[in-house]
Protein backbone atom coordinates (compact mmCIF):
# COMPACT_ATOMS: atom_id res chain seq x y z
CA UNK A 1 0.00 0.00 0.00
CA UNK A 2 2.82 2.35 0.89
CA UNK A 3 4.16 2.66 -2.66
CA UNK A 4 0.77 3.99 -3.71
CA UNK A 5 0.56 6.72 -1.12
CA UNK A 6 1.71 9.28 -3.68
CA UNK A 7 -1.16 8.28 -5.99
CA UNK A 8 -3.70 8.61 -3.18
CA UNK A 9 -2.43 12.02 -2.15
CA UNK A 10 -2.38 13.30 -5.72
CA UNK A 11 -5.92 12.03 -6.33
CA UNK A 12 -7.10 13.57 -3.09
CA UNK A 13 -5.48 16.91 -3.90
CA UNK A 14 -6.88 17.13 -7.42
CA UNK A 15 -10.34 16.01 -6.30
CA UNK A 16 -10.39 18.61 -3.55
CA UNK A 17 -9.17 21.35 -5.86
CA UNK A 18 -11.91 20.42 -8.30
CA UNK A 19 -14.51 20.80 -5.54
CA UNK A 20 -13.07 24.23 -4.74
CA UNK A 21 -13.30 25.18 -8.41
CA UNK A 22 -16.92 24.04 -8.58
CA UNK A 23 -17.80 26.10 -5.51
CA UNK A 24 -16.37 29.14 -7.20
CA UNK A 25 -18.68 28.89 -10.18
CA UNK A 26 -21.93 28.41 -8.28
CA UNK A 27 -22.03 31.84 -6.69
CA UNK A 28 -25.50 32.49 -8.04
CA UNK A 29 -27.14 29.42 -6.64
CA UNK A 30 -25.50 29.67 -3.27
CA UNK A 31 -24.81 33.25 -2.40
CA UNK A 32 -21.99 33.67 0.10
CA UNK A 33 -22.60 31.42 3.04
CA UNK A 34 -19.19 30.81 4.61
CA UNK A 35 -20.55 27.93 6.64
CA UNK A 36 -22.15 26.43 3.58
CA UNK A 37 -18.72 26.51 1.95
CA UNK A 38 -17.19 24.65 4.88
CA UNK A 39 -19.85 21.94 4.78
CA UNK A 40 -19.35 21.42 1.04
CA UNK A 41 -15.57 21.56 1.18
CA UNK A 42 -15.39 18.95 3.93
CA UNK A 43 -17.78 16.66 2.12
CA UNK A 44 -15.81 17.28 -1.06
CA UNK A 45 -12.65 16.31 0.78
CA UNK A 46 -14.23 13.04 1.90
CA UNK A 47 -15.48 12.38 -1.64
CA UNK A 48 -12.00 13.02 -3.04
CA UNK A 49 -10.46 10.70 -0.47
CA UNK A 50 -12.94 7.95 -1.29
CA UNK A 51 -12.23 8.26 -4.99
CA UNK A 52 -8.49 8.41 -4.49
CA UNK A 53 -8.13 5.28 -2.38
CA UNK A 54 -10.52 3.11 -4.41
CA UNK A 55 -8.07 1.61 -6.91
CA UNK A 56 -5.02 1.43 -4.61
CA UNK A 57 -7.20 -0.39 -2.05
CA UNK A 58 -8.33 -2.86 -4.70
CA UNK A 59 -4.74 -3.45 -5.82
CA UNK A 60 -3.68 -4.06 -2.23
CA UNK A 61 -6.49 -6.66 -2.06
CA UNK A 62 -8.22 -4.68 0.68
CA UNK A 63 -11.69 -5.82 -0.34
CA UNK A 64 -13.24 -4.83 2.99
CA UNK A 65 -12.02 -1.27 2.40
CA UNK A 66 -13.62 -1.21 -1.04
CA UNK A 67 -16.94 -2.39 0.40
CA UNK A 68 -16.83 0.38 2.96
CA UNK A 69 -16.21 2.84 0.18
CA UNK A 70 -19.45 1.97 -1.53
CA UNK A 71 -21.24 2.32 1.80
CA UNK A 72 -19.73 5.74 2.33
CA UNK A 73 -20.84 6.82 -1.13
CA UNK A 74 -24.43 6.38 0.03
CA UNK A 75 -23.92 9.26 2.43
CA UNK A 76 -23.70 11.70 -0.43
CA UNK A 77 -27.34 11.21 -1.14
CA UNK A 78 -27.94 13.12 2.06
CA UNK A 79 -26.44 16.22 0.49
CA UNK A 80 -29.36 16.54 -1.82
CA UNK A 81 -31.79 16.41 1.09
CA UNK A 82 -29.73 18.88 3.05
CA UNK A 83 -29.61 21.42 0.23
CA UNK A 84 -33.26 20.96 -0.60
CA UNK A 85 -34.36 21.51 3.00
CA UNK A 86 -32.21 24.60 3.46
CA UNK A 87 -33.36 26.20 0.24
CA UNK A 88 -37.01 25.33 0.87
CA UNK A 89 -36.83 27.00 4.26
CA UNK A 90 -35.15 30.09 2.83
CA UNK A 91 -37.63 30.23 -0.02
CA UNK A 92 -40.44 30.98 2.40
CA UNK A 93 -38.98 34.37 3.18
CA UNK A 94 -38.07 35.25 -0.41
CA UNK A 95 -40.18 37.98 -2.00
CA UNK A 96 -39.67 36.24 -5.33
CA UNK A 97 -39.25 32.56 -4.49
CA UNK A 98 -37.11 30.15 -6.49
CA UNK A 99 -39.88 27.61 -6.66
CA UNK A 100 -39.63 23.85 -5.99
CA UNK A 101 -38.36 22.94 -9.47
CA UNK A 102 -35.38 25.25 -9.29
CA UNK A 103 -34.57 24.11 -5.76
CA UNK A 104 -34.69 20.48 -6.84
CA UNK A 105 -32.30 21.26 -9.67
CA UNK A 106 -29.84 23.02 -7.39
CA UNK A 107 -29.98 20.21 -4.83
CA UNK A 108 -29.29 17.64 -7.54
CA UNK A 109 -26.33 19.65 -8.81
CA UNK A 110 -24.82 19.74 -5.33
CA UNK A 111 -25.16 15.98 -4.98
CA UNK A 112 -23.78 15.40 -8.45
CA UNK A 113 -20.72 17.51 -7.79
CA UNK A 114 -19.48 15.12 -5.15
CA UNK A 115 -19.66 12.23 -7.59
CA UNK A 116 -17.75 14.33 -10.11
CA UNK A 117 -15.10 14.96 -7.48
CA UNK A 118 -14.96 11.24 -6.75
CA UNK A 119 -14.53 10.49 -10.46
CA UNK A 120 -11.70 12.99 -10.84
CA UNK A 121 -9.92 11.63 -7.76
CA UNK A 122 -10.42 8.05 -8.94
CA UNK A 123 -9.11 8.81 -12.42
CA UNK A 124 -6.08 10.65 -11.08
CA UNK A 125 -5.08 8.04 -8.52
CA UNK A 126 -5.66 5.23 -11.03
CA UNK A 127 -3.40 6.94 -13.55
CA UNK A 128 -0.81 7.61 -10.88
CA UNK A 129 -0.72 3.92 -10.01
CA UNK A 130 0.64 3.15 -13.48
CA UNK A 131 2.30 6.30 -14.85
CA UNK A 132 4.46 9.04 -13.29
CA UNK A 133 2.77 11.51 -10.95
CA UNK A 134 3.37 14.54 -13.17
CA UNK A 135 1.61 13.00 -16.14
CA UNK A 136 -1.25 11.67 -14.08
CA UNK A 137 -1.84 15.14 -12.67
CA UNK A 138 -2.20 16.38 -16.25
CA UNK A 139 -4.53 13.46 -16.99
CA UNK A 140 -6.64 14.29 -13.93
CA UNK A 141 -6.98 17.90 -15.02
CA UNK A 142 -8.07 16.79 -18.49
CA UNK A 143 -10.72 14.54 -16.93
CA UNK A 144 -11.91 17.47 -14.79
CA UNK A 145 -12.16 19.78 -17.81
CA UNK A 146 -14.06 17.20 -19.85
CA UNK A 147 -16.49 16.55 -16.99
CA UNK A 148 -17.10 20.28 -16.54
CA UNK A 149 -17.93 20.57 -20.23
CA UNK A 150 -20.29 17.60 -20.09
CA UNK A 151 -22.27 18.82 -17.13
CA UNK A 152 -22.63 22.36 -18.38
CA UNK A 153 -26.35 23.00 -18.86
CA UNK A 154 -28.03 25.25 -21.38
CA UNK A 155 -29.32 28.73 -20.74
CA UNK A 156 -32.46 30.36 -22.06
CA UNK A 157 -30.43 32.28 -24.62
CA UNK A 158 -29.59 28.94 -26.28
CA UNK A 159 -33.17 27.79 -26.72
CA UNK A 160 -35.06 31.03 -27.23
CA UNK A 161 -34.86 34.46 -28.81
CA UNK A 162 -35.00 37.01 -26.01
CA UNK A 163 -35.94 40.59 -26.76
CA UNK A 164 -37.59 43.61 -25.19
CA UNK A 165 -41.38 43.91 -25.22
CA UNK A 166 -43.69 46.88 -24.83
CA UNK A 167 -45.40 47.19 -21.43
CA UNK A 168 -48.87 48.66 -21.81
CA UNK A 169 -52.40 48.52 -20.44
CA UNK A 170 -55.65 47.77 -22.20
CA UNK A 171 -58.16 48.87 -19.61
CA UNK A 172 -57.20 47.03 -16.45
CA UNK A 173 -55.23 44.35 -18.28
CA UNK A 174 -51.46 44.54 -18.34
CA UNK A 175 -49.82 43.32 -21.55
CA UNK A 176 -46.25 42.82 -22.70
CA UNK A 177 -46.59 43.01 -26.48
CA UNK A 178 -49.57 40.71 -27.11
CA UNK A 179 -49.11 38.57 -24.02
CA UNK A 180 -51.53 39.05 -21.13
CA UNK A 181 -49.78 39.33 -17.79
CA UNK A 182 -52.46 40.25 -15.24
CA UNK A 183 -55.36 42.45 -14.24
CA UNK A 184 -54.29 45.44 -12.16
CA UNK A 185 -56.84 47.50 -10.26
CA UNK A 186 -55.08 50.31 -8.44
CA UNK A 187 -54.46 53.44 -10.49
CA UNK A 188 -51.21 54.31 -8.69
CA UNK A 189 -49.88 50.84 -9.34
CA UNK A 190 -50.76 51.12 -13.00
CA UNK A 191 -48.96 54.44 -13.25
CA UNK A 192 -45.84 53.05 -11.64
CA UNK A 193 -45.93 49.97 -13.85
CA UNK A 194 -46.18 52.00 -17.07
CA UNK A 195 -43.38 54.28 -15.93
CA UNK A 196 -40.87 51.78 -14.57
CA UNK A 197 -41.96 48.33 -15.70
CA UNK A 198 -39.86 46.32 -18.12
CA UNK A 199 -41.22 43.60 -20.38
CA UNK A 200 -39.09 40.87 -21.91
CA UNK A 201 -40.46 38.57 -24.60
CA UNK A 202 -39.05 35.05 -24.79
CA UNK A 203 -39.67 33.39 -28.13
CA UNK A 204 -38.90 29.66 -28.25
CA UNK A 205 -36.74 28.57 -31.19
CA UNK A 206 -38.18 25.05 -31.43
CA UNK A 207 -41.18 23.09 -30.23
CA UNK A 208 -38.93 21.49 -27.61
CA UNK A 209 -38.11 24.92 -26.26
CA UNK A 210 -41.78 25.82 -26.35
CA UNK A 211 -42.60 22.90 -24.08
CA UNK A 212 -39.78 23.90 -21.75
CA UNK A 213 -41.07 27.47 -21.52
CA UNK A 214 -44.55 26.19 -20.74
CA UNK A 215 -43.20 24.64 -17.55
CA UNK A 216 -44.27 26.68 -14.53
CA UNK A 217 -41.11 25.86 -12.61
CA UNK A 218 -38.98 27.18 -15.46
CA UNK A 219 -40.90 30.44 -15.52
CA UNK A 220 -40.65 30.85 -11.77
CA UNK A 221 -36.89 30.35 -12.12
CA UNK A 222 -36.84 33.20 -14.67
CA UNK A 223 -38.70 35.47 -12.23
CA UNK A 224 -36.32 34.62 -9.44
CA UNK A 225 -33.11 34.97 -11.44
CA UNK A 226 -34.01 38.31 -12.98
CA UNK A 227 -35.28 39.63 -9.65
CA UNK A 228 -32.01 38.52 -8.05
CA UNK A 229 -29.82 40.15 -10.68
CA UNK A 230 -31.73 43.41 -11.19
CA UNK A 231 -33.63 43.63 -7.91
CA UNK A 232 -37.42 43.70 -7.65
CA UNK A 233 -39.05 46.96 -6.57
CA UNK A 234 -41.44 45.23 -4.26
CA UNK A 235 -42.16 44.70 -0.61
CA UNK A 236 -44.39 42.32 1.27
CA UNK A 237 -48.08 43.11 0.64
CA UNK A 238 -47.40 44.64 -2.77
CA UNK A 239 -48.58 41.86 -5.05
CA UNK A 240 -48.96 44.22 -8.03
CA UNK A 241 -45.21 44.51 -8.37
CA UNK A 242 -44.39 40.81 -8.32
CA UNK A 243 -42.43 39.78 -11.40
CA UNK A 244 -44.57 37.52 -13.55
CA UNK A 245 -43.87 35.33 -16.53
CA UNK A 246 -46.91 34.45 -18.60
CA UNK A 247 -47.49 32.45 -21.73
CA UNK A 248 -49.33 33.10 -24.95
CA UNK A 249 -50.57 29.59 -25.64
CA UNK A 250 -51.25 30.41 -29.27
CA UNK A 251 -47.69 31.34 -30.21
CA UNK A 252 -45.82 29.64 -27.37
CA UNK A 253 -44.12 32.92 -26.54
CA UNK A 254 -43.61 33.82 -22.92
CA UNK A 255 -43.29 37.31 -21.51
CA UNK A 256 -41.67 38.44 -18.31
CA UNK A 257 -42.90 41.53 -16.56
CA UNK A 258 -40.70 43.01 -13.85
CA UNK A 259 -40.39 46.26 -11.96
CA UNK A 260 -36.63 46.28 -11.39
CA UNK A 261 -34.64 48.36 -8.96
CA UNK A 262 -32.18 49.02 -11.79
CA UNK A 263 -34.38 50.17 -14.67
CA UNK A 264 -32.02 49.06 -17.43
CA UNK A 265 -33.94 47.21 -20.16
CA UNK A 266 -30.83 45.87 -21.90
CA UNK A 267 -29.60 44.28 -18.69
CA UNK A 268 -33.00 42.68 -18.15
CA UNK A 269 -32.71 41.00 -21.55
CA UNK A 270 -29.19 39.81 -20.74
CA UNK A 271 -30.37 38.49 -17.37
CA UNK A 272 -33.15 36.47 -18.98
CA UNK A 273 -30.71 35.01 -21.51
CA UNK A 274 -28.52 33.81 -18.66
CA UNK A 275 -31.28 31.95 -16.80
CA UNK A 276 -30.41 28.25 -16.69
CA UNK A 277 -32.75 25.81 -18.40
CA UNK A 278 -33.96 23.57 -15.58
CA UNK A 279 -33.24 19.89 -16.05
CA UNK A 280 -36.73 19.13 -14.84
CA UNK A 281 -38.25 21.43 -17.47
CA UNK A 282 -36.49 19.93 -20.48
CA UNK A 283 -38.98 18.27 -22.79
CA UNK A 284 -38.17 16.68 -26.12
CA UNK A 285 -41.40 16.05 -28.00
CA UNK A 286 -39.43 16.39 -31.25
CA UNK A 287 -37.51 13.22 -30.42
CA UNK A 288 -40.63 11.18 -31.09
CA UNK A 289 -42.44 10.55 -34.36
CA UNK A 290 -45.71 11.79 -32.91
CA UNK A 291 -44.10 15.01 -31.69
CA UNK A 292 -42.46 15.68 -35.05
CA UNK A 293 -45.68 15.04 -36.96
CA UNK A 294 -47.67 17.21 -34.56
CA UNK A 295 -45.25 20.10 -35.01
CA UNK A 296 -45.72 20.54 -38.75
CA UNK B 1 -51.13 27.48 -3.71
CA UNK B 2 -51.28 25.97 -0.24
CA UNK B 3 -54.83 26.41 1.06
CA UNK B 4 -58.20 26.28 -0.62
CA UNK B 5 -59.25 29.71 0.67
CA UNK B 6 -56.46 31.36 -1.29
CA UNK B 7 -58.46 31.96 -4.43
CA UNK B 8 -61.58 33.26 -2.77
CA UNK B 9 -62.62 36.85 -3.22
CA UNK B 10 -61.80 38.35 0.15
CA UNK B 11 -63.29 41.82 -0.26
CA UNK B 12 -65.18 43.88 -2.82
CA UNK B 13 -64.90 47.65 -3.20
CA UNK B 14 -67.41 49.35 -5.46
CA UNK B 15 -68.88 52.64 -6.54
CA UNK B 16 -71.60 50.79 -8.40
CA UNK B 17 -73.74 48.90 -5.84
CA UNK B 18 -75.96 47.52 -8.59
CA UNK B 19 -73.08 45.54 -10.08
CA UNK B 20 -72.53 43.30 -7.11
CA UNK B 21 -74.44 41.55 -4.35
CA UNK B 22 -74.68 38.52 -2.09
CA UNK B 23 -71.76 36.14 -1.69
CA UNK B 24 -69.38 35.60 1.19
CA UNK B 25 -67.09 38.60 0.80
CA UNK B 26 -67.67 41.93 2.53
CA UNK B 27 -68.64 44.76 0.19
CA UNK B 28 -67.25 48.23 0.76
CA UNK B 29 -69.31 50.99 -0.87
CA UNK B 30 -67.26 53.97 -1.96
CA UNK B 31 -68.77 57.37 -2.74
CA UNK B 32 -66.42 58.06 -5.67
CA UNK B 33 -63.44 56.73 -7.53
CA UNK B 34 -60.87 58.38 -5.28
CA UNK B 35 -62.39 56.80 -2.21
CA UNK B 36 -62.54 53.45 -3.96
CA UNK B 37 -58.84 53.70 -4.76
CA UNK B 38 -58.05 54.54 -1.16
CA UNK B 39 -60.11 51.76 0.40
CA UNK B 40 -58.75 49.24 -2.06
CA UNK B 41 -55.17 50.33 -1.40
CA UNK B 42 -55.58 50.09 2.37
CA UNK B 43 -57.22 46.69 2.19
CA UNK B 44 -54.60 45.44 -0.25
CA UNK B 45 -51.66 46.44 1.92
CA UNK B 46 -53.26 45.15 5.12
CA UNK B 47 -54.41 41.83 3.70
CA UNK B 48 -51.45 41.29 1.32
CA UNK B 49 -54.01 40.90 -1.42
CA UNK B 50 -54.09 41.87 -5.07
CA UNK B 51 -56.62 44.42 -6.31
CA UNK B 52 -58.35 43.52 -9.57
CA UNK B 53 -60.58 45.77 -11.64
CA UNK B 54 -63.78 44.44 -13.20
CA UNK B 55 -64.06 47.70 -15.16
CA UNK B 56 -67.67 48.27 -14.13
CA UNK B 57 -66.92 50.34 -11.07
CA UNK B 58 -66.08 47.30 -8.96
CA UNK B 59 -62.71 46.26 -7.57
CA UNK B 60 -62.17 43.00 -5.75
CA UNK B 61 -59.29 41.66 -3.67
CA UNK B 62 -57.88 38.18 -3.71
CA UNK B 63 -54.71 36.37 -2.70
CA UNK B 64 -52.33 34.92 -5.26
What is the pLDDT, as a whole number, of residue A2?
53
Q: Which residue of B has its CA nearest to A173?
A: B53
* Interface contacts (A, B; CB < 8 Å): 42
From the list B45, B55, B59, the residue facing A237 with the nearest CB is B45
What is the pLDDT, as a whole number, of residue A60?
86
Q: Based on the number of CB atoms within 10 Å of its own CB, is A250 exposed (0-12), middle (13-18) or buried (19 or more)?
A: exposed
Domain count, chain A: 2
Q: DSSP letter at A232?
A: B
Chain A residues closer than 8 Å to B52 by CB: 172, 183-185
- Looking at the structure, tell me whether residues A47 and A181 fall in a common domain: no
Domain boundary among A152, A168, A199: A152
What is the pLDDT, as a whole number, of residue A166?
96
Domain boundary among A123, A152, A181: A152
CA angle A149/A153/A159 to nearest 5° reads 125
Q: Picking from A131-135, A199-203, A247-251, B58-62, which range would have the lowest pLDDT averaged per residue?
A: A131-135
- Looking at the structure, tell me whether residues A179 and A145 fall in a common domain: no
Chain B residues closer than 8 Å to A189 by CB: 51
Proportion of chain A above pLDDT 70, given as a percent: 96
What average pLDDT does range A11-33 have in this prediction?
Answer: 78
- Looking at the structure, tell me whether residues A73 and A215 fall in a common domain: no
More confident residue, A29 or A57: A57
Residue A83 has pLDDT above 70, yes or no: yes
- Looking at the structure, tell me whether residues A47 and A185 fall in a common domain: no
From the list B40, B48, B64, the residue facing A185 with the nearest CB is B40
What is the pLDDT, as a whole number, of residue A58?
86
Residue A75's SS3 state is coil
- Looking at the structure, tell me whether residues A186 and A115 fall in a common domain: no
Specify the DSSP element, H or E, that contains B61. strand B58-62
**What distance in Å separates the CA atoms of residue A270 and residue A225, rounded to the nearest whole number?**
11
Q: pLDDT confidence of A96, banded at 50, 70, 90? A: very high
Interchain pair B41, A186: CB under 8 A: yes
Residue A275 has pLDDT above 50, yes or no: yes
- Looking at the structure, tell me whether residues A163 and A142 fall in a common domain: no
**What distance in Å separates the CA atoms of residue A79 and residue A98, rounded to the nearest whole number?**
19
- Looking at the structure, tell me whether residues A191 and A272 fall in a common domain: yes
Domain boundary among A119, A152, A185: A152
- Looking at the structure, tell me whether residues A187 and A283 fall in a common domain: yes
- Looking at the structure, tell me whether residues A115 and A186 fall in a common domain: no
Domain that holds residue A247: 157-295
Q: At what angle do helices A133-151 and A100-130 cross, to 10 degrees?
A: 160
Interchain pair B51, A171: CB under 8 A: no
- Looking at the structure, tell me whether residues A202 and A99 fall in a common domain: no
What is the pLDDT, as a whole number, of residue A32?
57
- Looking at the structure, tell me whether residues A261 and A274 fall in a common domain: yes
C-beta separation of A218 from A101 below 8 A: yes
Proportion of chain A above pLDDT 90, given as a percent: 59
Chain B residues closer than 8 Å to A99 by CB: none
Residue B1 has pLDDT above 70, yes or no: no
Query: What value does the mean pLDDT of chain B take?
Result: 89
User: What is the ipTM score, two decimals?
Assistant: 0.88
Residues A130-169 pLDDT 10s: 888 899 999 999 999 999 888 888 899 999 999 999 999 9
Q: Picking from A61-70, A232-241, A286-295, which range would have the lowest pLDDT averaged per residue?
A: A61-70
C-beta separation of A186 from A60 below 8 A: no
Q: Which residue of B has its CA nearest to A171?
A: B55
Residues A207-218 pLDDT 10s: 999 999 999 999
Amino acid sequence: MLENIGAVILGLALGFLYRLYLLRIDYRQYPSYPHGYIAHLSLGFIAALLGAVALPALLAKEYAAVTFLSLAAQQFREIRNMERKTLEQLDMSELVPRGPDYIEGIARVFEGRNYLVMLVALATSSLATFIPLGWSAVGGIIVAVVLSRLKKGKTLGDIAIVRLGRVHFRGALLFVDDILIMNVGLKDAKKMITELGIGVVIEPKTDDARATLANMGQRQAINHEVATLLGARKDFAEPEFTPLCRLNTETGRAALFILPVEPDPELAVLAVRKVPVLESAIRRPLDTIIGRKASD
Amino acid sequence: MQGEILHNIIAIVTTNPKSVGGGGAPIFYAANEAEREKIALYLSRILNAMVHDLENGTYFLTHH
